[in-house]
Amino acid sequence: MVERILRNMVGKKHEPLTGIDGKVIVVAHDLSPSDILQIDKTTVIGFITEMGGKTSHTSILARALEIPAVVGMERIASVVTENATIIIDGFTGVVILNPDQETFRDYLRRKQHYEYVERELLKLKDLPAVTLDGFAMILKANVEIVEEVPSVRRHGAEGIGLYRTEMLFFNRENLPDEEEQFHAYAEIVREMAPKPVTIRTLDVGGDKVLTDLNLGDEANPALGVRAIRLSLMQPEAFRAQLRAILRASAHGKVRVFFPMISGVDEVRRAKAIVEEVKQELRRAFIPFDEEIEIGIMIEIPSAVIIADLLAREVDFFSVGTNDLIQYSLAIDRTNEHLSALYEPLHPAVLRSLKMVVEAAHGAGIAACICGEMAGEPEYLPILLGLGFDELSMNAVSIPRVKKILRRCTKKEAEAVAARAMTYATAQEAESYLRSVIAARFSDSFD
């Protein structure tokens, strides 16, 4: 990403990212997920923030909307000047201010190479996601807004594995009512049909602040009234969302799941409300899928430890590695000072993933992952080897992950996962994985 015009928001009050003239790269102390949703990609062609981590929702949205971004670049705002020339490399997190001509040309070449690789990868779109020894892994996409659906299709997703409905609730005066939610969900469901859409109930709180519903300031928002807890405390809003989701299930294949489940009681309470809502719809002769599958996110360590108990209650598990890593390692996913400690291959994380798969399969239900880890091609051998059935990721990553998948056998992936689990530190597991990638797949990582 190379651009000459820069808008420096330092020292200015919170400004909307709308009504900007010309093409700009925004440099800001912080941007929220709702700021990102307002970005007009024809003017804002990239951004840099001082705050944030790779799995913060701001980063996730930037990837989903294909906006080049570097987050967590401390003090950047005080060193850039307006109208500087700036290069941002969203892959490596490198930012270059006022590059010399040679660097400028080098990055232009890299950009062209990236576009070429992307075009080549899209040729994998219609090839099956199967290993060399015939294991079919289901690869789906995560989406936030309906506008992403064309990209989901273009990248060959087999459905939507995570629809983050909360984005519908941002940047507005009033909360969306049942009718509005129904139209939004049904649109995505119809556009994806007959492929399934997995709709997550509202997951606000933490770094996704929604002042209308949240219960005011909290000392520890990441541990606060969020996600399913909030839904269970605000049953009217929860019922409206469930009615909308169930009604949308008459328009294609829908699965529903609950975020931030910490125990069986929450699952039972949420399911009881689903049952009540179904009963209301039946009485009113409003169609919905009677067989709709209900799942939960596994993203709190307590849910991992009791995964066997939870597996009896639901139809599928989807592991939210972004939060599971955050809560297991006590690493704030949005804190730029801790990004080096955010370790997907920490033995505690790998053991957790294994426990989740074993519990799911023990109960005969599917084990999926929808955290960012699922979209990192280098982790594919481990996730495949651990036994996951389904991975859901940002659409752009699907062909990259599929390319590796099609070049592995499940058997060798099992051996890689088993070996990775023997290491005492994430660094050791990472360096082992790097050696596997270099020996087996280096030409697949352009």
Residues near Mg ion, by CB under 5 A: 299, 320, 323
**Contact with ligand PEP (CB under 6 A): which of 50, 266, 299, 389?**
299
Nearer to Mg ion, 277 or 298 (CB): 298
The dihedrals phi and psi of 335, each to the nearest 5 degrees, come to -90, 115
Written as six digits, the tokens of 82 are 């307006």
Could you tell me the smallest distance in angstroms from the CB atom of residue 385 to ligand PEP? 20
Sheet holding 69-70, edge to edge: 6-8, 24-28, 44-49, 69-70
Residues 6+ apart with CB under 8 A from 402: 124, 127, 129, 139, 156
Instruction: Specify the residue, 289 or 376, whose C-beta has the smaller distance to Mg ion.
Output: 376
Segment near ligand PEP (CB under 6 A); pick from 6-14, 102-110, 315-323, 382-390: 315-323
Q: How far apart are CA 154 and CA 376, in angstroms?
A: 19
Give first-to-last CA distance, the chain, whole Å.
17
CB of 194 to ligand PEP, least distance (A): 24
For residue 1, the minimal CB distance to ligand PEP (Å) is: 24
- Cβ distance to ligand PEP smaller for residue 196 or 371: 371
Q: Residues 346, 368, 370, 408: which is the catalytic one?
A: 370
160-219 residues in contact with ligand PEP (CB under 6 A) are 162, 164, 203
- Angle (nearest 5°) at CA 282 between 269 and 229: 20
Other Cβ atoms within 10 Å of 284 Cβ, number: 8
Does residue 387 belong to the site contacting ligand PEP (CB under 6 A)? no
Which of 30, 323, 376, 390: binder of ligand PEP (CB under 6 A)? 323
Kind plus residue range of the DSSP H or E element containing 206: none
- Helix axis angle for 426-440 and 347-362, nearest 10°, is 70
Which CB, 182 or 379, lies closer to Mg ion? Answer: 379
Distant-in-sequence, close-in-space partners of 147: CB < 8 Å, separation ≥ 6:
none
Residue 321 binds ligand PEP (CB under 6 A):
yes
Tell me how far apart the alpha carbons of residues 37 and 26 are, in angstroms, rounded to a whole number: 14
Encoded tokens for 337: 């000072």
The contact pattern for ligand PEP, residues 242-281, with x = CB under 6 A and - = no contact, is ----------------------------------------
346 is catalytic: no
Whole-angstrom distance, CA of residue 48 vs CA of residue 105:
21
In 3D space, the residue among 104, 100, 102 whose CA is nearest the CA of residue 89 turns out to be: 104
List 14, 57, 183, 368, catalytic entry: 57
Q: How far is the CB of 142 from ligand PEP (least distance, A)?
A: 7
Element (H, E) at 389: none
Catalytic annotation on 337? Answer: no
Pick from 59, 131, 234, 322: which binds ligand PEP (CB under 6 A)?
322
**320 in contact with ligand PEP (CB under 6 A):** yes
**So which residues are the catalytic ones?**
57, 370
For ligand PEP, the binding residues (CB under 6 A) are 60, 162, 164, 203, 299, 320-323, 370-371
